[in-house]
């Protein structure tokens, strides 16, 4: 079996390579270069240390390594997506799009298609098993037992002619590190060619293995932020493209002007830091894009930023559900709208046009248009996909 291992220089991908070698495989190591090397414009992503670790891993295990340059693809598909969403007042997630379009997209088109599988250091698992009906419920007949998907088979019909999924994106036992939300836009075909060697481990176990194996990245800190920015501040990056446009900060409940902001594109729903208002804490609860107004509310976790529903568009199912097209149906599910450990319970209603309404069993805060809402099976074991949050 030929495996391409995507090595970032971090401990997770290094342990993934170590485990593959322990199992007798000899993966080829690939480092994806995405940082923009335009120092004059302020785009730099330090990669020297990353490459030193990649080289050390290759030497330690007697593996080949190469660098694949995907800088232009990253700029065209991920950076431009981020700038466009911010310009329109939305809250983008470039990490989600990087996985779909770069690590599992452009890399596969350039290199990955030459291999049987591509392995990464993501905290996620693969669930094997066909789509089946059991006791009035559609679900997955996995090797670990039947996993209900929350779809009542008496309310909706399956398409007998559709391809039946047999490979699903599973969550990891460590809910804090689980990264299925970052993978929730990949396709079923991309998943078919993916391996997640550390998927059933928690971070402590990964660190322990790295220490015991004396891996060069064993004590390296986890990376933070968006790589293409390097050491550039996010707001400085946004200002370079969108400029500054002053507008009022208004208290939602009273209409009182509390201060000024430098442009709605510097703020997102649920934001607390960076408002520079006295008498806080203050939270961004609403944005008027046309009037360039930021609305805020006072207090810890204010009720003004909470709601018990989410509308979704462009819902993407990782393993396409073989249901008859044009049907309206509902499913019990768990979901989350940001990278947190806790999953919420809800009911997803799928309309005939494909748009969705998600009704939560409790109030949730910080719902921001442009973010991705990830949908899970009722027991939280399978990530089914995600959709983009849209305004009411």
**The pLDDT of residue 44 is above 60:** no
Task: Report the percent of the chain where pLDDT is more than 70.
Answer: 94
Distance of CA 105 to the CA centre of its chain: 15
Is the per-residue pLDDT at 220 higher than 90? no
Residue 359 binned pLDDT confidence (cut-offs 50, 70, 90): very high
- 227 as an active site residue: the answer is yes
pTM value? 0.91
Q: What's the pLDDT tens digit per position in 162-188? A: 999 999 999 999 899 999 999 999 999
What average pLDDT score do residues 220-229 get? 64
Predicted confidence (pLDDT) at residue 225 exceeds the cutoff of 60? no
Token pair recorded at residue 160: 């007998």
> How far apart are the C-alpha atoms of 228 and 105, rounded to whole Å?
18
Q: What is the mean pLDDT of residues 202-222?
A: 92
Give the pLDDT score at 43: 47
The CATH architecture of the domain made up of 304-390 is Beta Barrel (2.40)
Tell me whether residue 333 is one of the annotated catalytic residues: no
- Residue 347 reports pLDDT greater than 90: yes
Q: How far apart are CA 118 and CA 192, in angstroms?
A: 10
Mean pLDDT of 311-324: 92
CA angle 232, 233, 238 (to 5 degrees): 100
Q: What is the DSSP pairing of strand 117-119 with strand 194-195?
A: parallel
Distance CA 355, CA 352 (A): 8
Q: Which of 45, 98, 333, 373 is catalytic?
A: 98
Give the tokens for residue 344. 């919420």
- Which letter does DSSP use for residue 196 in this model? -
299: pLDDT strictly greater than 80: yes
Is residue 268 scored above 50 in pLDDT? yes
Is residue 39 very low, low, confident or very high in pLDDT (cuts 50, 70, 90)?
very low
- In this structure, are residues 71 and 94 in contact, taking their beta carbons and an 8 Å threshold? no
Average pLDDT, the chain: 91
Q: How far is CA 352 from the centre of its chain?
A: 26
The answer on pLDDT for 79 being more than 80 is yes
Spatial contact of 166 and 129, defined as CB atoms under 8 Å apart = yes
How many angstroms separate the CA atoms of 342 and 2, rounded?
Answer: 37
- Report the pLDDT averaged over residues 140-146: 95
pLDDT average, residue stretch 211-216: 96
Tokens of 14: 């290094």
pLDDT of residue 42: 47
Sheet with 293-298, side-by-side order of all strands: 257-261, 247-251, 293-298, 282-288
How large is the average pLDDT for residues 142-156?
A: 94
Rounded distance between C-alpha atoms, residue 143 and residue 170, angstroms: 13
Question: Of 227, 333, 374, 383, which residue is the catalytic one?
Answer: 227
Asked, colleague to colleague, whether 245-300 and 304-390 share their fold, the answer is no
Which of residues 313 and 21 earns the better pLDDT score? Answer: 21
| Residue-range domain boundaries for the chain | 3-121+197-229, 245-300, 304-390
**Model pLDDT, residue 69:** 94
Q: What is the pLDDT of residues 99-137, one digit of tens each?
A: 999 999 999 999 999 999 999 999 999 999 999 999 999
What sign for the dihedral angle of Cα 178, 301, 308, 82? negative
How far apart are alpha carbons 163 and 159 in whole angstroms?
9
Q: Say what the pLDDT of residue 219 is.
A: 86
The reported pLDDT for the residue numbered 40 is 42
pLDDT by residue (tens digit) across 60-76?
A: 999 999 999 999 999 99
Give the fold, CATH level 3, of 3-121+197-229.
Rossmann fold (3.40.50)
Residue 50's closest CA among 34, 28, 70, 74?
34
Q: How confident is the model at residue 145 (pLDDT cuts 50, 70, 90)?
A: very high
Q: From residue 56, give the alpha-carbon distance in Å to each of 27, 61, 137, 210, 319.
A: 15, 9, 50, 14, 37
* pLDDT attached to residue 230: 54
- Tell me the helix, strand and coil percentages in the chain, rounded to 5: 25, 30, 45
Q: How many other CB atoms sit within 10 Å of the CB of residue 46?
A: 10
Q: Are 364 and 337 in contact (CB under 8 A)?
A: yes
Q: What is the pLDDT of residue 226?
A: 58
CATH fold of 245-300: SH3 type barrels. (2.30.30)
């Amino acid at each position: 079996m030929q495996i391409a291992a995507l090595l970032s220089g971090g401990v997770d991908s290094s342990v993934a390579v170590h485990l593959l070698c322990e199992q007798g495989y000899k993966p080829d190591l690939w480092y994806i270069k995405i940082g923009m090397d335009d120092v004059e414009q302020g785009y730099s992503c330090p990669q020297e240390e990353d490459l030193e670790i990649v080289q050390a891993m290759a030497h330690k295990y007697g593996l080949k390594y190469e660098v694949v340059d995907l800088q232009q693809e990253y700029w065209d598909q991920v950076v431009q997506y981020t700038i466009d969403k911010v310009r329109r007042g939305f809250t983008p997630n470039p990490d989600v799009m990087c996985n779909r379009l770069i690590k599992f997209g452009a890399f596969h088109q350039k290199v990955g298609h030459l291999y049987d599988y591509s392995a990464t250091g993501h905290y996620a698992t693969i669930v094997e098993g066909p789509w089946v009906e059991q006791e009035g419920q559609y679900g997955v007949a996995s090797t670990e037992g039947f996993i209900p998907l929350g779809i009542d088979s008496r309310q909706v019909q399956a398409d007998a002619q559709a391809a039946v999924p047999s490979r699903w994106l599973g969550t990891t036992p460590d809910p804090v590190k689980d990264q299925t939300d970052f993978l929730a836009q990949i396709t079923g075909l991309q998943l078919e060619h993916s391996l997640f060697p550390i998927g059933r481990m928690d971070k402590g176990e990964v660190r322990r293995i790295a220490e015991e194996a004396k891996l060069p990245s064993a004590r390296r800190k986890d990376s933070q932020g968006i790589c293409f920015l390097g050491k550039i501040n996010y707001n400085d990056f946004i200002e370079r493209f969108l400029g500054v446009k002053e507008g009022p900060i208004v208290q939602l409940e009273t209409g009182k002007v509390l201060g000024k902001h430098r442009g709605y594109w510097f703020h997102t729903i649920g934001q607390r830091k960076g408002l520079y208002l006295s008498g806080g804490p203050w939270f961004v609860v609403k944005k008027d894009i046309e009037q360039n107004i930021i609305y805020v509310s006072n207090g810890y976790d204010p009720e003004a930023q909470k709601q018990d529903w989410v509308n979704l568009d462009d819902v993407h199912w990782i393993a396409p559900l073989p249901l008859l097209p044009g049907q309206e149906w509902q499913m019990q599910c768990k979901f989350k709208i940001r990278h947190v450990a806790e999953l919420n319970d809800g009911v997803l209603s799928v309309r005939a046009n494909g748009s969705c309404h998600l009704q939560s069993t409790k109030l949730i805060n910080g719902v921001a248009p442009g973010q991705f809402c990830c949908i899970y099976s009722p027991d939280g074991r399978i990530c089914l996909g995600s959709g983009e949050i849209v305004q009411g």
